[in-house]
Structure 1
Amino acid sequence: MKHYVLAAGGTGGHMVPAAALAAELMRRGHRVALVSDARGVRFPGLFDGVQTHVLPAGRFQVKKPQGWASAVREMWRGRAMARQLYQTFKPAAVIGFGGYPAFPALLAAFADGIPTAVHEQNAVLGRVNRVVARRVDAIATSYEETARLSPRHADKTHLVGNPVREAVLALRARPYPLLEEDGIFRVLVTGGSQGANILSRVVPDGLAMLPPNFRRRLQVTHQARVEDIDAARAQYAAHDIPAELATYLPDMPEQLAWAHLVIGRAGASTIAELTAAGRPAILVPLPSATDDHQTANAREMTKAGGARTIAQGDFTAVELAKQMQKLGLDPAAMENAAGRARSVGRPNAVSDLADLVESLDAPRVRLPKVQKASKPAFA
């Protein structure tokens, strides 16, 4: 039995793969500790059985340099606290998942000579992972092409994919939901852990523009922000579209299981879950995402034919209705698109990542390449 420390920022994109790795390492008989911020330890049910530690971590905002001195002090305080943790927990390795809360934990590991790895969920290497890339022993990536990753690190870079929860991975064994020409068409709308205002504003009106024979088949589940949910609910009601709205969907794997189409952002966890389960999607990347990484995230799935990507500036009710008609009126094309989405999933991501973590003393391990998808199903 070995001890491992997982260090992750407080957003769902960092926490979900960290939780998946924690579960896999514990299944293999190891002990795991989580280092995060106050946001990260509040995700319900993700880290059951894992000891958690909240450490201070300064956030460096480019447009607010006056706060950098305070951020440095917090970072070094977090580093000192992490070193104290390592004295008692004695980790065999420290694995960072990005986000500023991971930085002090990795700095402490460098200082103590503990093997390290980072996992990058996005198709663009994140800021913290870029800073530490030179010093870590291994870099695990989720896409065959990862921007901002220096070729100098090729020897220690391993394509593993982005781990998803076991309940989502189990959907891979279930068939795409039966879709008949006159049957129910289930739409899942999700903006990720933070919701998305534009989806709440545009989707109800876009679905209302569909032909009556299509519109009456719709059954919508919509995850919205607290401040948007009442207005979105009223829009659906005004259009007489059956819709269940919630600010949080605790049964997301089951919602995904029954969805014929997903409309959502292109966050790392969203893409990983869509491709693991094999669900076609209309993706609206968040334009303010650092380095426009959501657009990069969507590229592989879209190229394979499992998704359509619409830039936020072009995401109008009219455009959504147009794309929905192209997709939803042909059940065979929808099922084919689901297969295309599934073709770029990496179902062994968590086991491959755990293998890499366990073998950090042999960093030249090579993992198999994933076969690329062929001709797109829809473009």
Structure 2
Amino acid sequence: MRVLFAGGGTGGHLYPAIALAEVLESRGDIPIFVTGDRSVEDRAFRASSWLRFAIHAAGLTTGSVWRRLRGLLSQPFALWRAWRIVRRVRPDHIVATGGYVAFPVGLVAALTRRQLVLVEPNAIPGRVGRILARWAKGVIALDPDRLHTPRARAVRAGIPVRRAFLHIERRQPDDQPVLLVVGGSQGARRLNETLPGLPSVVKCSTVIHVTGPGNLEAARDAWSTHPDVNVELIEYADDMPALYARADLAIARAGAATIAELGAARLPAILVPYPFAADRHQDANAAKFVEWGGGCVVSESDQFADELDQALKLWIGPDTRRAAIERLEGEKERFDPEALLDVLEDVR
């Protein structure tokens, strides 16, 4: 079986597809990818051998007039390239995971009456997801109730993550946790600047700080004034499951892939939603994580540093983290890519 995945732009649109592709490959099926042409896609796929096509696609509704015009002009070429890729690959299923590049491929799937499966990883669906949901025969979504899916024959609630996250063994919590700080695939500048000055951070045995591309030197300068903290600085991490396995607590953005990976790894977390995300979908994602019992939310307000420090002080406590780990244990099935792949069988 050939399955063509289409999505990109952020880790939340890439890693669910990679999680499903790993399972398909282990079964002898053939995953093929259509992504954007940005650096985030190149990093995500540089260690893989899967066939991958790149399409330059841009949005129509955000940014300056020039940016929107450029996005409009890119659509005919993107649609033509998507049609040629689908004709060449002849997939049994097309799985759209969101982002601008998913739209032309999903539209070709609808026009050529191919089996379209939508993966919508955000609690508030994006514009592409809302459009493609109308034609999808199968849906995997963090919150399926927010989508209009008149043609769907199979609907599952969840976000697939790579199996390595599901197999992490959590240590018994103590009062000197290893703290993992990660801002998602694009980093988080304000978080990078605020964290080193928090009084409670000295209670952590180690801080593993993934700064995001281009932020390493600034983070090194910020931490240099706090020599009493044992810090490991990483600009971009290729092996996130290994870092999650070392960590006892996380401070992170609330992108779709991040909350799913935290949940699958049963890693308690303090979430700091990106305040300028479209439709404030990271706030909704964070609310889901809190609903699962995995952590708390701190917004980037004027009192951000004080509120983050208070949250860190609470979650350093082993009893708080132990209770969160137990609650997240009961949510693991919603992240299992093997279980979620049943959607493909149901729409044949």
Give the alignment partner of residue 321 of structure 1, picking from 302, 309, 326. Answer: 309
Give the alignment partner of residue 338 of structure 1, picking from 321, 325, 333. Answer: 325
Aligned position for 1:231:
218
The answer (yes or no) to whether the contact 2:154–2:346 under 8 Å persists in 1 is: no
Q: 2:211 and 2:36 mapped to 1: Cα distance?
A: 24
Deviation at 1:65, TM superposition (A): 4.5
Deviation at 1:233, TM superposition (A): 2.2
Aligned position for 1:280:
268
Q: 1:81 and 1:45 mapped to 2: Cα distance?
A: 20
* One-letter identity of the residue aligned with 1:344: E
* One-letter identity of the residue aligned with 1:104: P
The answer (yes or no) to whether the contact 1:192–1:267 under 8 Å persists in 2 is: yes
Q: Which has the larger radius of gyration?
A: 1
Q: What does the per-residue CA deviation read over 1:153-210, in whole Å, with 9 as the maximum and x for residues that have no partner?
A: 4964612411111221211xx1x223334xx42100000111101111111111xx13
Q: CA RMSD in A?
A: 2.3
Deviation at 1:14, TM superposition (A): 0.7
Aligned position for 1:10:
9
Aligned position for 2:158:
161
Q: 1:64 and 1:236 mapped to 2: Cα distance?
A: 36
Deviation at 1:251, TM superposition (A): 2.7
Give the alignment partner of residue 246 of structure 2, picking from 258, 264, 276. Answer: 258
The answer (yes or no) to whether the contact 2:178–2:206 under 8 Å persists in 1 is: yes
Q: How do 1:186-335 residues align onto structure 2 when only pairs under 5 Å count?
A: 186-206=178-198, 209-210=199-200, 215=202, 217-239=204-226, 240-313=228-301, 316-328=304-316, 330-335=317-322
Distance 1:315 1:106, change over 3 A: farther
Aligned position for 2:54:
54
The answer (yes or no) to whether the contact 1:16–1:46 under 8 Å persists in 2 is: no
Deviation at 1:226, TM superposition (A): 4.4
Instruction: Count how many residue pairs are aligned between Structure 1 and Structure 2.
Output: 346
Q: 1:70 and 1:337 mapped to 2: Cα distance?
A: 46
Q: How do 1:1-40 residues align onto structure 2 when only pairs under 5 Å count?
A: 2-39=1-38
Q: 2:10 and 2:207 mapped to 1: Cα distance?
A: 26
Q: 1:33 and 1:226 mapped to 2: Cα distance?
A: 27
Secondary structure of the corresponding residue to residue 97 of structure 1: strand
Distance 1:349 1:279, change over 3 A: same
Q: Which moved more, 1:316-325 or 1:254-263?
A: 316-325
Secondary structure of the corresponding residue to residue 123 of structure 2: coil
Distance 1:344 1:113, change over 3 A: same
Q: Does 1:180 align with 2:174?
A: yes
Q: What does the per-residue CA deviation read over 1:242-265, in whole Å, with 9 as the maximum and x for residues that have no partner?
A: 101111122321111121110011
TM-score normalised to structure 2 length: 0.91
